[in-house]
Amino acid sequence: MKVALGMFYHEANSFNPKMVEKDDFVYVEGQEVIDRMFASEVFQDANAELVPLIYCNTLPNGIVRREAYDFYSNRILEILSENKDVDGVMLHLHGSMEVEGLGSGEYDLLKKIRQLLGPDVIIGIALDAHANTHPEFCKLVNAVRNYRTIPHTDQNVTEQTVARHMVKCIQEGRKTVPQFVRLPYAIHAEKATMATWPLSEIYEKLWKLEERQEVAIATLGIGMMWCDCETLATNVAVTPSKEEYTDYCKALAKELADYVYGLRDSFDFEQLPLSPHEAARYSVRFEGTPVYVSDSGDNTTGGAVGDHTIMLREYLNLREYYGKKILVTTIWDENALAVCMEHKEGDEIEISIGHDYDENTKAVLVKGKIKKKGKLRGYMGCEDDEVGDVVTIETEHVDIVLCGHAGSFISVRHFTDGAGLNMDDYQVIVVKQGYLFAELRKLAKLAILALTPGGTHQLVENLEYHNIKPPVYPLQYVPK
């Protein structure tokens, strides 16, 4: 058995005007791809020969520049064209990679892989939970599974479940096709976390469905609400365990879609939603610590720009801090960062922070000292990779982490090993996130969703969508 595997992962946000360039990705080839993929273990246990494709990942951001997409997708196709004798191809994709002038990157890539390798090669796909899967995508693959954790912690289970089904298909000569249903609806990302009903119930149901002998994988794609594109929608797919169960799984997928659609008005925010002004005041008054505050409209893990100074200004303007020390993380200002980098730790500094393009990025003058110089770490699956510099400026009540491009502190390591900070120094921590990532959620005594404006604005009912294929409840389609 010979299997090629790799990752090409990006979540596009069309409300972010910055396009994703080739160099924005963390990118490796060769043995390191095999080392980084969770699926490798399953294929190695089946004595498969592994062909590394590419491992390529970046923080969510705008739409992918065509040139960047072509570069990475062509590398995958080049390696596959040198290995046309593979029995299987396993890819870890996002499912919401919108590409300039092309639409769904995942769909385009899979079409090209099928054209190159023909109908007999078994293709298995691991997707993010927030995939806007193209309706024709599942016809091109043999197994598909989305992550089943929010925040995401089961990339390993997802890859390995797909890999196990692929091994079975290859060994038994089967070609299953996942049965896909697109819903006329999109679940709100911040209203669907594992800790809360009804997502918890839906995920429980998926596990139960997979106990049936007819079902290999039952999966839910929540969708990505901040990408105004044709494929924006919640979706479900059921991969049969054998070809003869295809009709059974088709009916089951329809049933599952109806069930999810029936719950459409039951989702609500898990974190406490407050205006930016209220969020700052509430967080310092709250007795338990630490309090985490998500700058949810500028959530870089949902593809927002990451340069807003709204929450920083709210905290700097507080009259009363109740003895609390606040950390405002990852404001993107490459100019301020460059100035700080010329100083050494301990130097006094007076500096303007903010791109000052508009009200959201309004510059603010800060007086303090350089507390720490450190490194920005990469996104999911690339937390060990250093992707830029960070500098923390200390002021009396508020410390500020600056970076040279969009960033987000998604794990404890981002704060400690990366930025060199002691998290215990802070009672309030502001992050460029929506729902908190798993490690931070566990630490938070209170998690507040500050309803800031930006590319991941939470009140999606108020946004105008021009490219969706209506109906996508509750989003409003406004023709161009």
Binding region for Zn ion (CB under 5 A):
128-130
Nearer residue to Zn ion within complex by CB, 129 or 141: 129
Instruction: Tally Cβ neighbours within 10 Å of residue 232.
Output: 23
Nearer residue to Zn ion within complex by CB, 48 or 227: 227
Minimum CB distance to Zn ion, residue 233 (Å): 15
Minimum CB distance to Zn ion, residue 152 (Å): 6
Nearer residue to Zn ion within complex by CB, 128 or 159: 128
Minimum CB distance to Zn ion, residue 131 (Å): 8
Minimum CB distance to Zn ion, residue 130 (Å): 4
DSSP letter, residue 359: S
Minimum CB distance to Zn ion, residue 414 (Å): 17
Q: Which residue is nearest to Zn ion (CB)?
A: 130
Q: For 320, list phi and psi in degrees, rounded to 5.
A: -125, 130
| CA 245 vs CA 125, 258, 275, 331, 468: distances in Å | 20, 20, 50, 51, 33
Nearer residue to Zn ion within complex by CB, 222 or 353: 222
Q: Measured between alpha carbons, how far is 194 from 436 in angstroms, rounded to an integer? A: 12
| CB contact at 8 A, 314 and 280 | yes
**Tokens found for residue 403:** 């970076």
Contacts of 211 (CB under 8 A, 6+ apart): none
Q: Which residues pair with 146 in a beta bridge?
A: 127
Q: Which residue has the tokens 């994709």?
A: 93
Minimum CB distance to Zn ion, residue 277 (Å): 29
Nearer residue to Zn ion within complex by CB, 192 or 421: 192
Minimum CB distance to Zn ion, residue 430 (Å): 21
Instruction: Tally Cβ neighbours within 10 Å of residue 78.
Output: 12
Nearer residue to Zn ion within complex by CB, 151 or 418: 151
Nearer residue to Zn ion within complex by CB, 241 or 433: 433
Instruction: Tally Cβ neighbours within 10 Å of residue 395.
Output: 16
| CB contact at 8 A, 162 and 156 | no
| CB contact at 8 A, 446 and 291 | yes
